[in-house]
């Protein structure tokens, strides 16, 4: 309240930040489990119980961005299982049919019931659509200088709000930031089949800041978005460093083995077996052959 926000805005932002932080903690916990699996059954039991409770809390938060990010995580796991051959096409079809069957609005877990329970009414969606249209008009009218006050008419989009507030000199860096984060996320998803198990929640984690950028007002990156990007940056950097170290060690081992098996490859004449001394051709033209 001390930063100029009214009570409703503060309550909504706290809800997003708290449950976003909860989802981030689930990403970190899953990554840590992959790095160092539990040694005792009771540890695994507590971990699974905490993940179930965390999932239920995220779902009841009624935050679209957080829910989409959370739902994308098992979809990524499903895609990885399909790409690696751990699940067949028939099993995948059964999962899809089950999901479609649960889409009946009478189902308590269906998308229709979720949208009905959401605090956003159809009028709320219309207002957001109108604000996006208004933001585009403002960008064209104030392309160079910006200067538009978005309070009360925010487009709830990181790129559009910054573009209309700061003009092209702010809009272009904003685009670069967003598409760079999106590019890192897609680069991890492309390697999904070969990613280590520990890296799967890391690949899923970037969905949180990306979805929040597309739905949060004010042109800001949320606190849990910054923390998620810091977590992913550190883990990916360490993972790539380990991969490079392993590749260098493998090349060194192969080179050592090649030199040990083939002395001639290192410039050492290989002695003839069973034929006695042989002539070794000189490396310099004009020199005499030697035994």
CA angle centred on 212, ends 206 and 216, rounded to 5°: 160
Q: Please give the mean pLDDT across all residues of the chain.
A: 76
Query: Distance (Å, rounded) from C-alpha 181 to C-alpha 285?
Result: 60
Beta bridge partners of residue 280, listed in sequence order? 290
Two structure tokens written together for 12: 């909504």
Q: How confident is the model at residue 236 (pLDDT cuts 50, 70, 90)?
A: very high
Q: Lowest-pLDDT range, 15-24, 68-77, 80-89?
A: 80-89
Task: Give tens-digit pLDDT for 189-213.
Answer: 988 888 888 899 999 999 999 998 8
Mean pLDDT for 157-161 is 82
Q: Lowest-pLDDT range, 23-27, 107-111, 121-125, 274-278?
A: 107-111
Query: Distance (Å, rounded) from C-alpha 73 to C-alpha 194?
Result: 17
In the prediction, which pLDDT does 288 show? 59
Residues in the chain: 291
Neighbours of 27 (CB within 10 A): 25
Report whether 153 contacts 131 (CB < 8 A): yes
Two structure tokens written together for 132: 């996006």
Mean pLDDT for 120-131 is 64
Task: Give tens-digit pLDDT for 76-123.
Answer: 888 888 887 776 555 555 555 545 544 443 344 444 444 444 555 555
3-class secondary structure for 208-238? Answer: HHHHHHHHCCCCCCCHHHHHHHHHHHHHHHH
Query: Distance (Å, rounded) from C-alpha 133 to C-alpha 122?
Result: 17
Mean pLDDT for 205-225 is 84
In the prediction, which pLDDT does 103 show? 43
85: left (phi over 0), alpha (psi -120 to 50) or beta: left
Helix, strand or coil, per DSSP, at residue 290: strand
Task: Give tens-digit pLDDT for 38-66.
Answer: 889 999 999 999 999 999 998 888 788 88
Distance, C-alpha 87 to centroid of its chain: 23
Above pLDDT 90, what percent of the chain? 22
The Cβ-side half-sphere exposure at 242, using a 13 Å CA radius, reads: 9
In the prediction, which pLDDT does 266 show? 47
Tell whether the model's pLDDT for residue 147 goes beyond 70: yes
Task: Give tens-digit pLDDT for 241-256.
Answer: 998 998 888 888 888 7
């Amino acid at each position: 309240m001390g930063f100029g926000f009214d009570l409703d805005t503060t309550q909504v932002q706290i809800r997003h930040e708290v449950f976003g932080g909860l989802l981030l903690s689930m990403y970190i916990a899953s990554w840590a489990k992959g790095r160092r699996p539990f040694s005792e059954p009771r540890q695994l039991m507590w971990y699974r119980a905490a993940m179930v409770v965390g999932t239920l809390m995220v779902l009841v938060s009624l935050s679209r961005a957080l829910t989409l990010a959370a739902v994308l995580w098992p979809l990524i796991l499903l895609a990885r299982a399909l790409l690696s051959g751990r699940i067949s096409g028939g099993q995948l079809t059964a999962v899809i049919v089950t999901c479609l069957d649960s889409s009946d609005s009478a189902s308590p877990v269906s998308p229709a019931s979720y949208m009905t329970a959401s605090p956003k009414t159809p009028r709320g969606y219309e207002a957001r659509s109108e604000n996006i249209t208004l933001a585009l008009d403002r960008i064209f009218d104030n392309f160079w200088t910006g200067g538009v006050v978005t309070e009360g008419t925010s487009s709830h989009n990181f790129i559009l709000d910054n573009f209309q507030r700061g003009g092209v000199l702010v809009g272009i860096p904003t685009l670069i930031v967003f598409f760079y984060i999106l590019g890192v996320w897609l680069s991890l998803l492309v390697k999904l089949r070969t990613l280590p198990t520990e890296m799967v929640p890391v690949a899923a984690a970037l969905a949180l800041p990306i979805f929040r950028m597309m739905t949060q007002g004010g042109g800001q990156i949320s606190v849990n978005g910054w923390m998620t990007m810091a977590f992913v940056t550190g883990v990916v950097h360490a993972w790539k460093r380990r991969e490079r170290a392993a590749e260098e060690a493998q090349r060194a081992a192969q080179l050592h083995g090649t030199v040990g098996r083939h002395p001639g490859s290192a410039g050492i004449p290989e002695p003839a077996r069973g034929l006695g001394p042989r002539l070794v051709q000189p490396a310099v033209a004009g020199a005499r052959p030697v035994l």
